Amino acid sequence: MAAQMTDAHRRFLQVLMSHGIMEGSVARKLHRRCCEIHKVYYAHDKLDDFISTINRHLQPLFMQVRKGLSESDGRAHYALVNLAETEITKMASDYAENELELFRKTMDLIIFSENGFASSTDILNLADQLQTKKMKKKEAEQLLKVFVDDKWLSERDGEYTLHTRCIIEMEQYILSNYQDVARKCNICHSLAIQSQMCESCGIRMHLPCVRKYFRAQTEPRCPQCNDFWPFDTSGTKQ
């Protein structure tokens, strides 16, 4: 018999909704806290079962709590995804048309790049090329900060990539709209933006997955075609 939705599940969902995305260790602590408050059975290794119960009740609403991995460190994250919304419609209520256009163009730069990053210079150069309404560079700089604060983009040393929340929520959109370049990681089977690609067979692997997979190997070889893997396998940014 399927587990019933309790006040512990509802509290967990409310907190997750207010955060947008939650790191795995935080989600585990919240799971325990919600069960303690509402005196519901708790087991430390049952978080995914707990979330499955929530998802069964969210199904008629076309919503789902999804688990994804950070591309930078491989840590698990949880986000609430609206399955009924397609493309970038979720963002449409929060941003103007030219702001959404800049986001799409930024996504293009990131996905078509070799390392999954776009420089602030390249992004800001797009500001006065927008079709909807041109934007001053100062406005674009402020907008990039908003995208980072809202967890659509991540910034490091003046370079931008897709935030874990963005990847979890928009994975299907990206896979269907960037079919020629978007690939899943050969190891964890999640969308791979920050990744290394085999020069022989074209498979991709996240940097944390690269680090784990090649850890015990003296000579790194591609898991698909067995050719020598010529990249740094320490899992650092390329």
Q: pTM of the entire structure?
A: 0.85
CB 53 within 8 Å of CB 3: yes
- pLDDT for the residue numbered 23: 96
Segment holding 191, helix H or strand E: strand 191-192
The domains of the chain are located at: 7-83, 88-178, 184-237
DSSP-H helix ranges across the chain: 7-19, 24-37, 47-58, 89-92, 97-112, 120-124, 137-149, 164-177, 207-214
Distance, CA of 171 to chain centre? 8
- pLDDT for the residue numbered 184: 93
The backbone torsions φ and ψ at residue 124, rounded to the nearest 5 degrees and listed phi first, read -65, -30
Residue corresponding to tokens 């293009």: 108
Rounded-to-10 torsion of CA 152, 187, 79, 235: -50
- CATH code at 184-237: 3.30.40.10
Least Cα distance to 29 among 38, 19, 42 occurs for: 42
Please, which contacts does 186-189 make with residues 24 or more away whose CB atoms are closer than 8 Å? 186/223, 186/224, 187/212, 187/213, 187/223, 188/69
Residue corresponding to tokens 């979720």: 90
pLDDT averaged per 10 residues, the chain (length 238): 85 94 96 96 94 95 92 92 70 88 96 93 94 94 96 94 92 90 92 92 92 89 94 67
Q: Rounded to an integer, what distance in angstroms lies between the CA atom of residue 164 and that of residue 21?
A: 8
Helices 137-149 and 97-112, interaxial angle, to 10°? 80
CB atoms closer than 10 angstroms to residue 16: 20
- CATH code at 7-83: 3.90.1150.220
- pLDDT for the residue numbered 36: 97
| Domain 88-178 -> CATH class | mainly alpha
